[in-house]
Amino acid sequence: MPQNQLITRAANPARGALVVGSGASLLCATAGLLLGGLQGLTSSVLASILVLVFFISGQLVEGVALRMADGTGLTLTLVSYAARVGLFGLILWLAASTPAISGQWSRTWFAAGALTALIGWLTGLVVADSRARVPVYDRSYQAPEGWDR
Protein backbone atom coordinates (compact mmCIF):
# COMPACT_ATOMS: atom_id res chain seq x y z
CA MET A 1 0.00 0.00 0.00
CA PRO A 2 1.46 3.39 -0.92
CA GLN A 3 2.50 5.61 1.98
CA ASN A 4 0.05 8.42 1.15
CA GLN A 5 -2.91 5.99 1.27
CA LEU A 6 -1.71 4.74 4.67
CA ILE A 7 -1.62 8.31 6.01
CA THR A 8 -5.06 9.10 4.56
CA ARG A 9 -6.52 5.91 5.99
CA ALA A 10 -5.05 6.68 9.43
CA ALA A 11 -6.39 10.24 9.37
CA ASN A 12 -10.03 9.28 8.72
CA PRO A 13 -10.78 7.79 12.17
CA ALA A 14 -9.06 10.74 13.86
CA ARG A 15 -11.17 13.13 11.80
CA GLY A 16 -14.34 11.36 12.88
CA ALA A 17 -13.20 11.39 16.49
CA LEU A 18 -12.46 15.12 16.31
CA VAL A 19 -15.88 15.89 14.83
CA VAL A 20 -17.81 13.87 17.42
CA GLY A 21 -15.58 15.04 20.29
CA SER A 22 -16.02 18.69 19.28
CA GLY A 23 -19.77 18.26 18.89
CA ALA A 24 -20.11 16.66 22.31
CA SER A 25 -17.93 19.39 23.82
CA LEU A 26 -20.13 22.05 22.23
CA LEU A 27 -23.21 20.47 23.81
CA CYS A 28 -21.48 20.38 27.20
CA ALA A 29 -20.39 24.01 26.85
CA THR A 30 -23.98 25.02 26.06
CA ALA A 31 -25.23 23.14 29.12
CA GLY A 32 -22.46 24.73 31.18
CA LEU A 33 -23.52 28.19 30.05
CA LEU A 34 -27.20 27.55 30.75
CA LEU A 35 -26.75 25.83 34.10
CA GLY A 36 -23.45 27.19 35.42
CA GLY A 37 -23.22 30.60 33.81
CA LEU A 38 -20.02 31.99 32.36
CA GLN A 39 -17.94 30.00 34.86
CA GLY A 40 -19.53 26.74 33.69
CA LEU A 41 -18.95 27.66 30.05
CA THR A 42 -15.29 28.56 30.44
CA SER A 43 -14.56 25.55 32.64
CA SER A 44 -16.11 23.05 30.23
CA VAL A 45 -14.51 24.67 27.18
CA LEU A 46 -11.06 24.70 28.81
CA ALA A 47 -11.34 21.05 29.80
CA SER A 48 -12.59 20.04 26.36
CA ILE A 49 -9.74 21.86 24.67
CA LEU A 50 -7.17 20.20 26.94
CA VAL A 51 -8.57 16.73 26.31
CA LEU A 52 -8.89 17.18 22.54
CA VAL A 53 -5.36 18.61 22.28
CA PHE A 54 -4.12 15.63 24.30
CA PHE A 55 -5.68 13.16 21.84
CA ILE A 56 -4.84 15.10 18.67
CA SER A 57 -1.18 15.36 19.66
CA GLY A 58 -1.20 11.62 20.35
CA GLN A 59 -2.57 10.93 16.86
CA LEU A 60 0.13 13.11 15.32
CA VAL A 61 2.89 11.29 17.20
CA GLU A 62 1.44 7.89 16.32
CA GLY A 63 1.36 8.91 12.65
CA VAL A 64 5.10 9.56 12.82
CA ALA A 65 5.72 6.41 14.88
CA LEU A 66 3.99 4.21 12.27
CA ARG A 67 6.72 5.09 9.77
CA MET A 68 9.56 4.05 12.10
CA ALA A 69 11.15 0.64 12.20
CA ASP A 70 11.92 -1.63 15.14
CA GLY A 71 11.02 -0.44 18.61
CA THR A 72 11.75 3.20 17.91
CA GLY A 73 8.13 3.96 17.07
CA LEU A 74 6.90 2.22 20.20
CA THR A 75 9.43 4.10 22.32
CA LEU A 76 8.39 7.40 20.76
CA THR A 77 4.70 6.66 21.42
CA LEU A 78 5.32 5.72 25.06
CA VAL A 79 7.57 8.70 25.76
CA SER A 80 5.05 11.00 24.09
CA TYR A 81 2.24 9.55 26.19
CA ALA A 82 4.21 10.01 29.41
CA ALA A 83 5.09 13.59 28.47
CA ARG A 84 1.47 14.42 27.58
CA VAL A 85 0.14 12.92 30.82
CA GLY A 86 2.77 14.81 32.82
CA LEU A 87 1.98 18.08 31.08
CA PHE A 88 -1.77 17.54 31.55
CA GLY A 89 -1.22 16.86 35.26
CA LEU A 90 1.01 19.92 35.60
CA ILE A 91 -1.62 22.15 34.00
CA LEU A 92 -4.31 20.78 36.32
CA TRP A 93 -2.07 21.18 39.37
CA LEU A 94 -1.23 24.78 38.46
CA ALA A 95 -4.89 25.58 37.86
CA ALA A 96 -5.92 24.08 41.19
CA SER A 97 -3.09 25.54 43.30
CA THR A 98 -2.85 29.08 41.95
CA PRO A 99 -5.18 31.29 44.02
CA ALA A 100 -5.87 33.71 41.18
CA ILE A 101 -7.02 30.90 38.89
CA SER A 102 -8.56 28.38 41.27
CA GLY A 103 -11.56 30.54 42.11
CA GLN A 104 -12.31 31.33 38.47
CA TRP A 105 -13.41 27.89 37.30
CA SER A 106 -15.91 25.28 38.32
CA ARG A 107 -14.48 21.85 39.07
CA THR A 108 -17.83 20.23 38.29
CA TRP A 109 -18.07 21.75 34.81
CA PHE A 110 -14.37 21.13 34.22
CA ALA A 111 -14.89 17.43 34.92
CA ALA A 112 -18.05 17.40 32.80
CA GLY A 113 -16.21 19.01 29.87
CA ALA A 114 -13.29 16.61 30.14
CA LEU A 115 -15.53 13.53 30.33
CA THR A 116 -17.73 14.73 27.49
CA ALA A 117 -14.74 15.35 25.23
CA LEU A 118 -13.26 11.96 26.19
CA ILE A 119 -16.48 10.04 25.52
CA GLY A 120 -17.09 11.98 22.31
CA TRP A 121 -13.56 11.33 21.04
CA LEU A 122 -13.71 7.61 21.80
CA THR A 123 -17.19 7.25 20.29
CA GLY A 124 -16.12 9.01 17.10
CA LEU A 125 -12.97 6.91 16.91
CA VAL A 126 -14.84 3.62 17.35
CA VAL A 127 -17.55 4.56 14.84
CA ALA A 128 -15.02 5.77 12.26
CA ASP A 129 -12.81 2.69 12.74
CA SER A 130 -15.78 0.35 12.42
CA ARG A 131 -16.61 1.85 9.02
CA ALA A 132 -13.04 2.04 7.69
CA ARG A 133 -12.19 0.01 4.62
CA VAL A 134 -8.90 -1.76 5.26
CA PRO A 135 -7.65 -4.26 2.69
CA VAL A 136 -6.51 -7.43 4.41
CA TYR A 137 -5.01 -9.28 1.47
CA ASP A 138 -3.25 -7.95 -1.60
CA ARG A 139 -4.47 -10.74 -3.87
CA SER A 140 -7.54 -12.88 -3.99
CA TYR A 141 -7.64 -16.10 -1.99
CA GLN A 142 -6.86 -19.40 -3.68
CA ALA A 143 -7.35 -22.68 -1.90
CA PRO A 144 -4.29 -24.95 -1.59
CA GLU A 145 -3.88 -27.81 -4.09
CA GLY A 146 -6.23 -30.69 -3.37
CA TRP A 147 -8.18 -28.71 -0.80
CA ASP A 148 -11.50 -28.69 -2.65
CA ARG A 149 -12.00 -32.49 -2.92
Separation between Cα atoms, residue 77 and residue 24, nearest integer Å: 27
| Phi, psi torsion values for 133, nearest 5 degrees | -100, 110
Separation between Cα atoms, residue 45 and residue 10, nearest integer Å: 27
Determine the average pLDDT of the residues in 13-21.
89
AA letter at 101: I
Which has the closest alpha carbon to 36: 113, 90, 127? 113
AA letter at 122: L
Q: pLDDT tens-digit profile of 23-49?
A: 999 999 999 999 999 999 999 999 999
Q: pLDDT tens-digit profile of 62-87?
A: 888 888 877 888 899 999 999 999 99
pTM above 0.85, yes or no: no
